Amino acid sequence: MNILTGSFEERMRKSISFAWSIFSEKVGSGLIYINKEASMQLQFSYILQQVVPLICFQSNENVKIELETGVKVQGKSREIDLVLVGTSGSGTYKIAVEMKCYREYASSGGKRGATDIFMKDVYEDLHLLESYCSLAGFNQGVALVMNDLERLVNPKKK
């Protein structure tokens, strides 16, 4: 993946994937410890904040990152985990990012249960992302999901 090629909008989207790759490697190697979704959002946004200036090649290109941005969808107030707002000569481009984190052990140290509820929440976030794009003026939606349970990613029975 070359984050330096393509339109400004394509580079914005690629920057999310690139930052996610870096984030995943650092979490996997133990350089970054994530115990809950809030720390995931903070650490990922920090990496993304370092990446986005690298994809701006014109003086009128700029990317702003927001955490927990409020938006109204279907009469309900929602908070989007992370928003990228890019401006360039061609206008404004907005990407909504929803993040989910599920660890085998909760931040309190106890074993967590209810993986079915976690998976339901992931599907709800996908639905929200679609709503943000169709009803709230976002151009794209991205879901980033992290867990440490092999059976959720590679189940023995499908």
> How is residue 55 annotated by DSSP?
G
- pLDDT higher for 17 or 76? 17
pTM (2 decimals)? 0.86
Element (H, E) at 143: strand 140-147
Residue 121 contacts by C-beta under 8 Å, 6 or more apart in sequence?
100
Count of other CB atoms within 10 angstroms of residue 37: 16
Instruction: Tell me the mean pLDDT in the region 74-101.
Output: 93
Q: Are strands 140-147 and 91-102 parallel, antiparallel or unpaired?
A: parallel
CA angle at 32 for the pair 30 and 38, rounded to the nearest 5°: 135
* Percent of the chain's residues with pLDDT above 90: 58
Q: Output 157 or 115, whichever has higher pLDDT.
A: 157
For 8-151, the fitting CATH number among 1.10.260, 1.10.357, 3.40.1350, 3.10.20 is 3.40.1350
pLDDT given for residue 94 in this prediction:
97
How far apart CA 39 and CA 141 sit, in angstroms, is 21
Identify the H or E element spanning 10: helix 8-28
Plot region of 143 (φ>0 → left; ψ -120 to 50 → alpha; else → beta): beta
Domain ranges within the chain, ordered by starting residue: 8-151
